[in-house]
Amino acid sequence: MFIQAITLFPEMFGSITEYGVTGRAFKQNLWQFAAINPRQFADNKLGYIDDRPFGGGPGMIMMAPPIQAAIDAAKAQSATPNHRVIYLSPQGAPLTHQKVLSLSQYDSLILLCGRYEGIDERVLMHSVDEEISIGDFVVSGGELPAMMLMDAVLRFVPDVLGDMASAEQDSFANGLLDCPHYTRPTEFQGMSVPDVLKSGNHALIAEWRLEQSLRRTLKRRPELLSERCLLPQEARLLAKIRLEQEQQA
C-alpha cells in the first residue's frame, strides 16, 4: 500500500514511519509513504496557502489552488486508479472497523490534513472522495487523525503484523469488544489469572473468552449488541449473563 499525506507538517509522520509495528513494516518496504506540503504550490514567495473567509468570521481558510495542486500531484504519484482521497474532518463519517477493512483494500490512500478553520469547500466537492472523523471532538489539524487511520489500516496489510490473528481478534473485529487478557505472573496484587485460562481446555477457553466479550460489550457498548444478529452460542451466553444480572439486582 502507498499512503500519501497532504500536510503542512510532514515531519509529524516520522512517528508512524519510524516506530512500532508500522515503522518496522515501513523499513521492510511492506508499505510506502510520501508527504506533500501544499506550500510548494503557493503562488507567493512566503508560501502562504491560507486567506480570510468570505463572509467574515474568525480564523483562516486553506485556499483551493495549492490544495488542489497537491491532490493532483499525489494522484500522479500514486500511479494506480485504485486510490481514495480522504479528508480528515470532524464533519466526516465516523471511522469504524468496517471502514478500516474497506480502506485496506485500496492500493493507495491520499490523506488530506486540514489546518486553521478548514479547507475551501470547492476542493472538497471536486476532489475528495469522502470525509472521515475519528470522533466527536476537534483537534488542531488532520495529522494525528490521519496517523490513527493509517495505523488502523496498515494492521490489515499482509505481513505488517507478525500474526494476522492479532487483528482478527481485536475489539470490533467480530462486532464485540475484546475479552480480558492475562500473562505471567499468575498472582499480582492479590489477583489471580482465571483458572480456565490455565486449564489447557481450548474449547472451554474459547467459550470463556466469548462470554467475557459479551459481558464487556453489554456493560460498555450495549448498542453493539442491539444491532447484532446473535449466533446461537452468543444468545445462550448472553441470556445467562442477563439472568445473573437480574438475580444480583
How many residues comprise the chain?
249
Q: Which of 84, 155, 211, 215 is catalytic?
A: 155
- Asked if 170 is an active-site residue, the reply is yes
- Asked if 195 is an active-site residue, the reply is no
Q: Cα-atom radius of gyration of the chain, to the nearest Å?
A: 23
Q: Which of 10, 39, 53, 117 is catalytic?
A: 117
Cα 128 to Cα 45: distance, rounded to the nearest angstrom: 28
DSSP 132-181: EESSSS--S-SHHHHHHHHHHHHTTSTTTSS-THHHHTSTTTTSSPPPP-
- Asked if 66 is an active-site residue, the reply is no
- Asked if 187 is an active-site residue, the reply is no
Task: Give start and end residues of each alpha helix (H) in the chain.
Answer: 14-18, 20-27, 64-78, 97-103, 121-127, 143-154, 165-168, 202-220, 222-226, 232-248
Beta carbons within 10 angstroms of residue 228's beta carbon? 15
Q: Which of 170, 178, 221, 228 is catalytic?
A: 170
Q: Which of 90, 130, 207, 209 is catalytic?
A: 90
Q: Catalytic residues, which ones?
A: 90, 117, 155, 170
